[in-house]
Amino acid sequence: MSAKRKEQPVITSRGKGLMGMSLLMFLVGSLFGQPFVVQSGIFGILVLFVCYWIARVNLKSIQFIRKMPSAVFSGIDFDYQVEMVNHGKWIGSKNVMVYDHYLPFAEKGFAVDVIRSGRRVVEVFKSRIIERGISSGRGFRVTSDFPLGLFEVSKRRKGNEKVLVYPRPMLTRRLESAVLGHGQSESSFPGAGNRDGEFCGVREFQKGDKVNQIIWTSYAKTGKFIVRDYDFPISEKLSIIFHSYCPSGKLIWPEVFEHSMSLIAGLLMMCRERGIRFELCGPFTGWRNVECKNPSKIEKFLEFLSYARHEPESSIDKISKVLSQIAGRHPVFLVSETDVKLWADQLPAMQRVIHCVDNKALKSKHPDLKLIKRVA
């Protein structure tokens, strides 16, 4: 059966009731010679024919248009516009119901009382997409039971809109502190950074603050923990590397890989906000170091994460080779979906700070003093 045939008016239970009652009145009136009953039956059948014709043309000239962003973040609301245009010249469309798969689950449909000929109706909703990658082909359905609810017409369409879904940015406090330089205080390499930032104000105590930052005189007066806040030095450049090295006998769950993509997206967003140049490397870049010289434009790098697929590595040699080829002494963020304990100790000794990130912890590996002296 063709799609056009399916969009023809379908008689409802109310219409079937009217049809059955009209036929019965026509037969009974004919048998007992009751002209009024016969005429009432004929009138009911005529009403059905008229309603069928009106139902057929009611949605014939309706055009459904979606307007949405070309790229969104997973799980984050975005504005989604629905526009309905009536291209008819004389007859308006009434009692229009729309069911759209892009609408939130709580409101899968909305109603429009009337769309006059040559007019349009615009509605704006909040929507969200959960899955990462390309979202396309989400269908919609436009229905109406006008007039009198005797017939129903339903137009089903498959949307051709394509939306690129970036991973949802996530950034733990420990990871943010490492980017800002908080995690370099234990470094034995003087050029790696320090915590002697400039004093920039006070704020309330937060989880992770050190006790020696608390202003005890303020606590004695107000009973609240107030700490000194410092403007810590920020690296001019970062290297972000992702790997899926997993020793044999260990399992990696799919949701952990998605979380890793979210952590990298959080790093990219922070680099954009802070104006930090970075380079990204991983299986989704073909193990090439792709550099971002303008942190305000990170869409290309978010696309890498959107299309990333899980490609586990059986050896850490490839990661070690990438690390050894990175020029400079800026910090490296090595992100993985496996536990840091399984691979951090196998990395080669480097003349830079390496922050090993997984979904549980962040471990900073600092240059060995012996290595620094030997190179010097």
Residue 277 has a pLDDT of: 92
Residue 371 has a pLDDT of: 45
Question: What number of CA atoms fall less than 13 Å from residue 125's CA on the CB side?
Answer: 20
Domain that includes residue 91, residue range? 62-166
Q: Indicate whether 297 and 245 sit together in one domain.
A: yes
Q: Indicate whether 277 and 322 sit together in one domain.
A: yes
Residue 207 has a pLDDT of: 61
Cα 141 to Cα 19, 157, 231, distances in angstroms: 27, 6, 55
Residue 4 has a pLDDT of: 53
Do residues 241 and 335 lie in contact, with contact meaning Cβ atoms separated by under 8 Å?
A: yes
Q: Indicate whether 304 and 219 sit together in one domain.
A: no
Residue 184 has a pLDDT of: 44
Buried b (16+ CB within 10 A) or exposed e, 118-132: eeebeeebebbbeeb
Share of the chain above pLDDT 90, in %: 27
Residue 136 has a pLDDT of: 87
Q: Indicate whether 150 and 293 sit together in one domain.
A: no
What total of structural domains would you count in the chain? 4
Q: Indicate whether 30 and 124 sit together in one domain.
A: no
Q: Indicate whether 370 and 313 sit together in one domain.
A: yes
End-of-domain residue from the set 34, 58, 82: 58
Supply the DSSP symbol for 184: G
Residue 268 has a pLDDT of: 94
Q: Indicate whether 49 and 66 sit together in one domain.
A: no
Q: Indicate whether 203 and 238 sit together in one domain.
A: no
Q: What are the residues whose beta carbons fall under 8 Å from the beta carbon of 335, sequence distance 6 or more?
A: 240, 241, 242, 243, 260, 263, 264, 267, 357, 358
Residue 213 has a pLDDT of: 74
Q: Indicate whether 114 and 143 sit together in one domain.
A: yes
Q: What is the CATH number of the domain that holds 148?
A: 2.60.40.10
Residue 348 has a pLDDT of: 83
CA distance 105 to 241: 37
- Burial tier of 205 (Cβ tally within 10 Å: 0-12, 13-18, 19+): middle
Cβ atoms within 10 Å of 342's Cβ, excluding its own: 15
Q: What are the residues whose beta carbons fall under 8 Å from the beta carbon of 57, sequence distance 6 or more?
A: 88, 91
CA distance 353 to 250: 27
CA-based end-to-end distance of the chain: 80
Tens-digit pLDDT profile for residues 91-115: 888 999 988 888 876 667 888 888 8
Q: Indicate whether 141 and 275 sit together in one domain.
A: no
The alpha-helical segments, DSSP class H, found in 199-253 are 216-222
Greatest distance between any 2 Cα atoms in the chain: 118
Do residues 101 and 196 lie in contact, with contact meaning Cβ atoms separated by under 8 Å?
A: no
Tens-digit pLDDT profile for residues 110-119: 888 888 988 8
End-of-domain residue from the set 166, 184, 210: 166
Q: Indicate whether 331 and 352 sit together in one domain.
A: yes
Q: Indicate whether 266 and 325 sit together in one domain.
A: yes
In this prediction, the residues of the chain whose per-residue pLDDT falls under 50 are: 1-2, 182-197, 369, 371-376
- Burial tier of 184 (Cβ tally within 10 Å: 0-12, 13-18, 19+): buried
Q: What is the CATH number of the domain that holds 365?
A: 3.40.50
